[in-house]
């Protein structure tokens, strides 16, 4: 009796919530104010590729596995409430995670497939993600982001497994925001509820959504689990979710396909090579701490087990690059590119090796290709340096400007390089000036250098403005402020023959930078 009562209450609460946010409870599709359906599809099409690049790229050594995941996705998409240009990929990342982007674009990490044990569990996660995109959860949070910030930005926190998020520049920045969007609890409940309905409609046993949640609750107690940074970061498992799924199951009824054997068969190759990918992950980790010796052992172990994996060749290249063996590094990057031409990173790495070898002209095409795949501050900073070294200041400025968008070290270096190059053209844009007076009433032109570089031959003119008309009525000759002003330092020069004793009089003087040069 009590149970039945609380179910009714829950049902009323759900109906109320759905209607309160403008959702048709039958199709659960939201009517959005600013993001049209065609825009939403265009956003998905534009951002799907760069989003995959920043998550390790597509997992391509086992195309049969991808075809299998796609077939499960298609079955569920066919029974969804909204027809979209759905696409499904397996990404080459060990982090157990999956995501959906507006417009029907879905990705499953290799790391999540290790942890599942049946096609029905795969369908449970897949159906949940399909609801997120079919019900426009991502597009809706983009829209609320637009309302709040006045710009096309998704709300959300950068996912911990996205090591490239800080490096991305330009329009592709949106892609990293889209995949790190955290949905609200209502969206999550809706994705669980409709996801189980899709499972049932597609012939799967919706019980798998309950057992999977129970497994997740158990796994979430292990703080070291890779899930903490992956799926659980956006989908914290809870007893409430398990209970809600059990209630849905009671309505739908259990029974249907589990597909344990077919799943075991299809992911067999993947699970058999898990140790090689673990070795690779360890290698990347120790290399980032500078331990090239241990890194090379791990990389060789991985490459021996899966010779066709481009990421393993890339790691061998990274180790050689760290050891300043640029030619060896190039050989490995070449192999990585041959195995998987459409992943950005070995292209960037090749250009670094070529630049180290004093062959910048050969580095340029690699950087252009990598920027097409994923525009990063690293590649634009390098392009800027190469253009600058050949004396092409305009191109260098353009490249530095793009990279300056990023908060990474390469972004910071690009901002400094941009300012340095642009300074010669626009010194007044960079130097700060003021007219000041001392106790004796003598007037000085003071120049402060807020940049990161030293400047030289700083000349100013001091202009006086008429008190009434506010128009300039006289000006000094050109005055040398200082032979040299270092970064964060100031220089000054007196205006001869003038005395002021009131602030109001001093306010009538302005200091104009006439010219300055970069110190060599
Ligand atoms: Zn979700």
pLDDT at site 172 = 81
Query: What is the Cα–Cα distance from 501 to 443, expressed in whole angstroms?
Result: 10
Distance 186 CA to ligand 1 centre (A): 10
Distance 215 CA to ligand 1 centre (A): 16
Distance 132 CA to ligand 1 centre (A): 7
Distance 93 CA to ligand 1 centre (A): 19
Distance 94 CA to ligand 1 centre (A): 19
Distance 190 CA to ligand 1 centre (A): 9
pLDDT at site 10 = 33
114-118 own/partner pairs: CB under 8 Å, 24+ apart: 114/267, 114/270, 114/271, 114/274, 115/219, 115/227, 116/212, 116/263, 116/267, 117/260, 117/263, 117/264, 118/208, 118/258, 118/259, 118/260, 118/263
Residues of the chain with pLDDT under 50: 1-26, 147-160
In this structure, are residues 204 and 123 in contact, taking their beta carbons and an 8 Å threshold?
yes
Distance 280 CA to ligand 1 centre (A): 29
Distance 131 CA to ligand 1 centre (A): 8
Distance 45 CA to ligand 1 centre (A): 21
Distance 256 CA to ligand 1 centre (A): 23
Distance 455 CA to ligand 1 centre (A): 54
pLDDT at site 467 = 92
Distance 264 CA to ligand 1 centre (A): 25
User: What burial class does residue 82 get, using C-beta atoms within 10 Å of its C-beta: 0-12 exposed, 13-18 middle, 19+ buried?
Assistant: middle
Average pLDDT value over all residues in the chain: 88
Distance 130 CA to ligand 1 centre (A): 9
Distance 184 CA to ligand 1 centre (A): 9
In this structure, are residues 21 and 56 in contact, taking their beta carbons and an 8 Å threshold?
no
Distance 224 CA to ligand 1 centre (A): 22
Distance 177 CA to ligand 1 centre (A): 15
pLDDT at site 31 = 67
Query: What token pair was written down for 336?
Result: 């990585």
Helix, strand or coil, per DSSP, at residue 472: strand
In this structure, are residues 518 and 425 in contact, taking their beta carbons and an 8 Å threshold?
no
Distance 458 CA to ligand 1 centre (A): 59
pLDDT at site 7 = 31
Query: What is the Cα–Cα distance from 345 to 332, expressed in whole angstroms?
Result: 12
Distance 248 CA to ligand 1 centre (A): 16
What DSSP character marks residue 29? Answer: P
Query: What token pair was written down for 61?
Result: 């050594």
Distance 47 CA to ligand 1 centre (A): 19
Distance 100 CA to ligand 1 centre (A): 9
Distance 245 CA to ligand 1 centre (A): 14
pLDDT at site 156 = 34
Distance 182 CA to ligand 1 centre (A): 8
Distance 129 CA to ligand 1 centre (A): 6
Distance 183 CA to ligand 1 centre (A): 7
pLDDT at site 464 = 95
Distance 46 CA to ligand 1 centre (A): 22
Distance 506 CA to ligand 1 centre (A): 63
Distance 281 CA to ligand 1 centre (A): 26
Distance 189 CA to ligand 1 centre (A): 8
In this structure, are residues 231 and 112 in contact, taking their beta carbons and an 8 Å threshold?
yes
Distance 22 CA to ligand 1 centre (A): 20
Distance 85 CA to ligand 1 centre (A): 20
Distance 466 CA to ligand 1 centre (A): 66
Q: If phi over 0 gives left and psi between -120 and 50 gives alpha, with beta otherwise, what is residue 479?
A: beta
Query: What is the Cα–Cα distance from 412 to 404, expressed in whole angstroms?
Result: 6
C-alpha distance across the termini of the chain, in Å: 86
Distance 150 CA to ligand 1 centre (A): 26
Distance 101 CA to ligand 1 centre (A): 11
Distance 409 CA to ligand 1 centre (A): 33
What pLDDT digit, counting tens, does each position of 414-470 carry?
A: 999 999 999 988 999 999 999 999 999 999 999 999 998 999 999 999 999 999 999
Query: What is the Cα–Cα distance from 367 to 370, expressed in whole angstroms?
Result: 5
Distance 102 CA to ligand 1 centre (A): 13
């Amino acid at each position: 009796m009590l149970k039945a009562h609380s179910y009714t209450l829950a049902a009323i609460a759900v109906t109320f919530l759905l209607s309160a946010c403008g959702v048709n409870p039958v199709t659960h599709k939201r009517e959005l104010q600013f993001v049209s359906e065609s825009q939403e599809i265009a956003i998905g099409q534009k951002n799907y590729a760069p989003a995959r690049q920043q998550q390790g790229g597509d997992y391509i050594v086992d195309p049969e596995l991808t075809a299998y995941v796609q077939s499960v996705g298609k079955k569920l998409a066919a029974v969804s409430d909204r027809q979209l240009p759905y696409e499904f990929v397996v990404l080459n990342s060990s982090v157990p995670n999956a995501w959906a982007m507006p417009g029907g674009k879905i990705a499953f990490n290799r790391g999540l497939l290790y942890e599942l044990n049946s096609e029905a569990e795969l369908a449970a996660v897949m159906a949940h993600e399909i609801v997120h995109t079919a019900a426009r959860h991502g597009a809706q949070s983009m829209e609320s982001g637009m309302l709040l910030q006045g710009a096309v930005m998704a709300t959300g926190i950068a996912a911990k497994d996205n090591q490239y998020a800080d490096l991305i520049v330009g329009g592709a920045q949106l892609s990293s925001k889209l995949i790190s969007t955290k949905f609200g609890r209502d969206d999550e409940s809706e994705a669980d509820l409709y996801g189980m309905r899709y499972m049932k409609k597609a012939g799967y046993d919706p019980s798998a959504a309950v057992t999977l949640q129970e497994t997740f609750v158990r796994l979430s107690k292990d703080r070291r689990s890779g899930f903490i940074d992956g799926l659980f970061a956006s989908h914290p498992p809870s007893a409430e979710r398990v209970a809600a799924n059990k209630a849905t199951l009671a309505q739908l009824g259990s029974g249907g396909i589990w597909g344990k054997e077919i799943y075991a068969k299809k992911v067999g190759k993947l699970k058999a090579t898990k140790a090689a990918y673990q070795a690779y992950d360890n290698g990347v980790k120790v290399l980032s701490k500078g331990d090239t010796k241990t890194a090379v052992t791990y990389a060789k172990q991985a490459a021996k087990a899966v010779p066709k994996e481009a990421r393993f060749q890339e790691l061998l290249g990274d180790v050689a690059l760290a050891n300043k063996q640029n030619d060896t590094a190039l050989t490995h990057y070449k192999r990585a590119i041959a195995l998987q031409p459409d992943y950005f990173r070995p292209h960037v790495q090749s250009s670094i090796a070529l630049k180290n070898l004093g062959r910048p002209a050969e580095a340029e095409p690699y950087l252009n290709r990598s920027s097409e795949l994923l525009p990063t501050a690293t590649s634009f900073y390098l392009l800027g340096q190469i253009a600058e070294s050949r004396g092409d200041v305009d191109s260098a400025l353009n490249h530095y400007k793009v990279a300056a968008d990023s908060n990474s070290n390469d972004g910071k270096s690009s901002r400094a390089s941009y300012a340095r190059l642009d300074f010669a053209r626009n010194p007044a844009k960079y130097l700060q000036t003021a007219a000041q007076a001392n106790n004796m009433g003598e007037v000085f032109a003071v120049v402060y250098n807020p940049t990161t570089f030293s400047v030289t031959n700083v000349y100013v003119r001091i202009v006086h403005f008429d008190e009434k008309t506010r128009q300039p009525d006289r000006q000094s000759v050109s005055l040398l402020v200082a032979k040299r002003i270092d970064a964060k330092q100031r220089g000054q020069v007196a205006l001869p023959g003038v005395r002021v004793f009131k602030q109001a009089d001093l306010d009538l003087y302005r200091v104009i930078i006439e010219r300055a040069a970069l110190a060599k």
